[in-house]
Amino acid sequence: MSRPAHGPLVADLVAALDPDRVHTAAGDLWLYRHDASNLTGRATAVCFPTSTAEVRACVRAAVRHDTPFVARGSGTGLAGGAVPPEGAVVIATSKMTAVRSVDPVNRTAWVEPGVLNLDLTRHVTAQGLHFAPDPSSQQTCSIGGNVANNSGGPHCLADGVTSAHVLAIEVVLPDGTVTELGGEEPEPRGLDLRGAFVGSEGMFGVATAVCVKLTQNPPDVATMLLDFDDVADGAQLVSDIIAAGIVPAAVEMMDQLCVRAVEAYIEANLPVDAAAVLLIEVVGLPAGVAADVAAIRHLAAARRVGAIRVAADDDERALLWKGRKSAFGAIARIKPNYYLHDTVVPRHRLPEVLEEVYRIVERHDLLVLNVFHAGDGNLHPLLVYDARDDGVAERVQAAGEEIVRVSVAAGGVLSGEHGIGREKRELMPLMFSDIDLAAQAALRDAFDPRRLANPDKVLPTAASCGDVQAIPDGAWV
């Protein structure tokens, strides 16, 4: 174990924790310079508290020395939200993994922020419950990270994203005080500061415990795989299903390049010659599930569907979902690097936006895999490339910005679940006026007037004074 470097800040951190849980060696800091994005930073120290009191001590030490701090969970974020600002203290909550309590009658649980998403569901499976938000990284992402980015996942179409499943949060505020936002009662008194905190990307403090709402497992499930010779037909079917009054638990799309990469990995007999596939899951009482499956079959026939496959059992269902959730890893069979974007467009604009994405990528001589939450229009284009190729990084960045601009121009938004972080902060004026950004900055200042909690994230650099300039065409942050 490395010995901490000398200095008043580090000395205070060591006094609050102990030398083994305050890392300052160059190799340790190198590991925590980035999250799952392509952005990097440089920390002064990485701390591993195990309790609310220790988190509070870390925050107070950072504030006392006028040093920025950033909370970090598993580091699976894709927008640079957990990238340390220059010289920051990283407060890693990965050792705070206790499930403090479970109430199966009221379907709630108090968990610490380092609990992994899938581990929470496994913990309550015996009670017939699960935690509904299920990002593709759910085997490794933490509940604290889900709260920070208001994460979603394939099964959030009907149930909603993380904010719909968080009742209360124990928080160490940026001044080092501890408070509870929200509450277990149905309508807590006062302002909804819980709602403000969820999705705040570490700018409002550090979550040390979360009261989550648990969801009862459905009595029946049907998982369908539908293939199409035209991506537009599959995209149109998504709108048809919702317009018919059917709200599936999940509606996911993968295009041909993605299907081929996934099939090479999981060998699930996927239709690799199809232009696109839809993975649709409906849940409920058996009669209702059967009716929804029949209705979807009828609607799909009008959109020139190819084969329709319904998982025969839980094993086949799990295999199909393994394919969807391992898509990001499977692309390593094509290229060693990828840049994953996250925008949302209106469902009825999906076909035209997807066509434009393909045109953008072709213009920049790149490859794209499209795998996304089609039910709510949450696009996830994966630009795959080899970083060793000359000039490819610049082409990837330029293509990525064009995709964001096209999505917003279609009536969409900058992010669905990955957050803004550092990646898209200078693109915020595409969606928000000077007044909007000033209001967001004022809310941040209400929580953190010194702006030490994860600074330089989300808000454009000029937002503090309301002088926000639109970025020029072709610029990249």
- 104 pLDDT more than 90: yes
d(CA 238, CA 378): 12
pLDDT band (50, 70, 90) for residue 464? very low
pLDDT digits (tens, 9 = 90+) for 27-54: 999 999 999 998 999 999 999 999 999 9
331 versus 82: which is more confidently predicted?
A: 82
* Sheet containing strand 108-111, strands side by side: 99-103, 108-111, 206-213, 166-172, 178-182
pLDDT digits (tens, 9 = 90+) for 369-423: 999 999 999 999 999 999 999 999 999 999 999 999 999 999 999 999 999 999 9
Sign of the four-CA dihedral 222, 228, 232, 236: negative
Assess contact for 127 and 146: CB atoms under 8 A: no
What is the mean pLDDT of the segment spanning 193-221? 98
Per-residue confidence (pLDDT) for residue 388, from 0 to 100 = 94
pLDDT band (50, 70, 90) for residue 476? very low
The torsion angles phi and psi of 109, rounded to 5 degrees, stand at -150, 140
Token reading at 268: 């699930």
Domain 335-409 belongs in CATH node 3.30.70.2740: yes
Query: Among 60, 51, 71, which Cα is nearest to 148's?
Result: 71
Q: Domain 8-92 adopts which CATH fold?
A: 3.30.43
d(CA 316, CA 326): 15
What is the mean pLDDT of the segment spanning 297-314? 97
pLDDT band (50, 70, 90) for residue 188? confident
What is the mean pLDDT of the segment spanning 359-372? 95
Q: Are β-strands 220-228 and 166-172 bridged in parallel, bridged antiparallel, or unpaired?
A: unpaired
What is the mean pLDDT of the segment spanning 302-308? 97
Per-residue confidence (pLDDT) for residue 173, from 0 to 100 = 98
> Dmax over Cα atoms in the chain, in whole Å?
70
Assess contact for 44 and 67: CB atoms under 8 A: yes
% of the chain beyond a pLDDT of 70: 95
Same fold, 8-92 and 99-216: no
344 pairs with which residues across the strands? 378, 413
Sign of the four-CA dihedral 146, 147, 152, 158: positive
Q: CA-based angle 45:47:51, to the nearest 5? A: 160
- 310 pLDDT more than 80: yes
CA 148 to mean position of chain CA atoms: 9
CA 306 to mean position of chain CA atoms: 32
- 470 pLDDT more than 90: no
- 229 pLDDT more than 50: yes
Per-residue confidence (pLDDT) for residue 5, from 0 to 100 = 47
Q: Domain 99-216 adopts which CATH fold?
A: 3.30.465
What is the mean pLDDT of the segment spanning 323-342? 87
Any idea what DSSP says for residue 453? B
Any idea what DSSP says for residue 4? P
Query: Among 389, 422, 376, which Cα is nearest to 37's?
Result: 422
Domain 220-326 belongs in CATH node 3.40.50.720: no
Per-residue confidence (pLDDT) for residue 6, from 0 to 100 = 55
Q: Where are the domains of the chain?
A: 8-92, 99-216, 220-326, 335-409, 425-465
Assess contact for 275 and 243: CB atoms under 8 A: no
